[in-house]
């Protein structure tokens, strides 16, 4: 396992790269409403590869940093919304790499995982389904997409929604249900049986390919492309879920640290009513509240990461962390916009984008209310067990 000095050195290199190389790309016209273009991602990744910071959370020998070590690195990659894309620490690829590293066969790792780790292929995770179909959203048990065995192939049919990065992805992980239960399949993309109906116009704009609604029409997948065993799909989703949820917290914490820096710089140079904005109690207190909330978010991430590093699935802990961190980051981003006034709602800085991205994060990877409901059920179960 790497020592602390190495982790700090990796994190320092990532931070320097993001601040010096990636930040200037934030005004690049190739950043669109449906995310940065793949050409822009490739350009940044070539520079990250040359700087030795591509996929920095996975070492040269293929070993993965611990979750606590990953946090130190991913927070730095998040200092720009483009940083995770450049460094290959973005969602959904980071979570998909983690899942494949845990569950995929050696052959599957070579075919599907290696190109993602090398930063030459993007991936997509096909689980969520359209609400109008009554399909799976926060409740994955409502899954409508089905698969059936036909000889040595599986045939998959259904619709999916909010599939991040499906447009332009080279690797897909598709969830469907069989008679045995939920299953996961690895597929090469694009595939004519997976048709993108439309790219949704969403509040966030940091993910290449945006968020797509897709139709899966008689997709034939070789049996050796099933990830793990039939009926174990929800189990594998849990393997992916907690670390991926926490990684989101790490990256967006980095973005809010940067937003706070920008708001502080603005408040310390802009004058109103005879003094600097920061000297007005209403403004200075917002920045002070942010300072406290940033540290609380960092500590919550570190605590949950430590639980995951014990080998626990950390379902409860990651729910707690996701709620606490996403809600704290929303307050931080909102305060930064407020401190900067009219400038804060423009695209002149990334503060406005960070606000939008964090607002979406309160829903993605489980809305706050779903996590609280789950935690409330645990409180009830524990109480009844104690009384038994």
Are both 188 and 214 inside the same structural domain?
yes
Q: Which domain holds residue 155?
A: 123-230
Are both 293 and 358 inside the same structural domain?
yes
190 in any annotated domain: yes
Residue-level pLDDT at 28: 97
Are both 147 and 225 inside the same structural domain?
yes
Asked if 209 and 169 count as a contact pair (C-beta separation under 8 A), the reply is yes
Domain termination residue (choose one: 203, 230, 257): 230
Are both 28 and 151 inside the same structural domain?
no
Are both 249 and 354 inside the same structural domain?
yes
CATH number of 22's domain:
1.10.540.10
291 in any annotated domain: yes
CATH number of 277's domain:
1.20.140.10
Other beta carbons within 10 Å of 16: 13
Domain termination residue (choose one: 230, 251, 285): 230
pTM value is: 0.95
112 in any annotated domain: no
Q: How far apart are CA 156 and CA 385, in angstroms?
A: 41
Are both 276 and 222 inside the same structural domain?
no
Are both 208 and 290 inside the same structural domain?
no
CATH number of 171's domain:
2.40.110.10
Q: What is the pLDDT of residues 82-109, one digit of tens each?
A: 999 999 999 999 999 999 999 999 999 9
Are both 16 and 34 inside the same structural domain?
yes
Are both 368 and 261 inside the same structural domain?
yes
Are both 141 and 188 inside the same structural domain?
yes
Domain termination residue (choose one: 202, 230, 258): 230
Residue-level pLDDT at 104: 97
If the chain, 388 residues long, is cut into consecutive pieces of 10 residues, what is the mean pLDDT of each piece? 85 98 97 96 98 95 93 98 98 96 96 97 97 90 96 97 97 97 97 98 96 98 96 93 95 98 98 96 97 98 98 95 98 98 97 98 94 96 93
Whether the CA torsion 254, 90, 45, 113 is positive or negative: it is: positive
Are both 152 and 219 inside the same structural domain?
yes
Indicate the number of domains in the chain.
3
Residue-level pLDDT at 388: 84
96 in any annotated domain: no
Phi and psi, residue 362, nearest 5°? -65, -15
102 in any annotated domain: no
48 in any annotated domain: yes
Are both 288 and 373 inside the same structural domain?
yes
């Amino acid at each position: 396992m790497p020592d602390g000095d190495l982790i700090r050195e990796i994190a320092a290199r990532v931070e320097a790269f993001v601040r010096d190389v990636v930040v200037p790309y934030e005004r690049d016209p190739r950043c669109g409403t449906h995310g940065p273009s793949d050409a822009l991602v490739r350009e940044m990744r070539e520079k990250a590869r040359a700087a030795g910071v591509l996929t920095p959370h996975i070492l040269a020998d293929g070993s993965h940093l611990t979750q606590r070590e990953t946090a130190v690195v991913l927070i730095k990659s998040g200092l720009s919304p483009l940083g995770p894309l450049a460094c290959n620490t973005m969602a959904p690829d980071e979570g998909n790499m983690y899942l494949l590293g845990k569950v995929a066969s050696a052959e599957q790792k070579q075919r599907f995982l290696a190109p993602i780790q090398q930063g030459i292929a993007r991936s997509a995770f096909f689980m969520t389904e359209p609400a109008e179909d009554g399909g799976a959203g926060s409740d994955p048990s409502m899954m409508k997409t089905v698969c059936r065995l036909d000889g040595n192939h599986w045939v998959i049919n259904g619709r999916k929604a909010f599939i991040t990065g499906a447009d332009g992805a080279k690797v897909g992980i598709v969830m469907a249900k069989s008679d045995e239960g939920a299953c996961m399949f690895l597929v090469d993309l694009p595939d004519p049986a997976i048709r993108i109906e439309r790219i949704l116009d969403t509040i966030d704009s940091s993910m290449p390919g945006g968020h797509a609604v897709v139709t899966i029409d008689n997709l034939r997948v070789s049996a050796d492309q099933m990830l793990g065993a039939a009926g174990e799909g929800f189990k594998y989703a849990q393997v992916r879920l907690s670390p991926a949820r926490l990684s989101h917290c790490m990256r967006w914490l980095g973005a809010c640290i940067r937003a706070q820096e920008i708001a502080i710089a603005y408040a310390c140079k802009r004058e109103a009513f005879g003094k600097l904005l920061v000297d007005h109690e209403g403004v200075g207190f917002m920045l002070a509240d942010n300072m406290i909330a940033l540290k609380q978010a960092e500590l919550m991430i570190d605590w949950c990461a430590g639980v995951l590093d014990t080998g626990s699935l950390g379902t409860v802990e990651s729910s707690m962390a996701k709620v606490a961190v996403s809600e704290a980051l929303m307050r931080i981003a909102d305060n930064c916009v407020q401190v900067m006034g009219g400038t804060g709602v423009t695209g002149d800085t990334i503060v406005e984008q960070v606000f939008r991205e964090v607002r979406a994060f309160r829903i993605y990877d489980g809305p706050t209310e779903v996590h609280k409901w789950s935690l409330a059920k645990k409180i009830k179960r524990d109480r009844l067990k104690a009384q038994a």
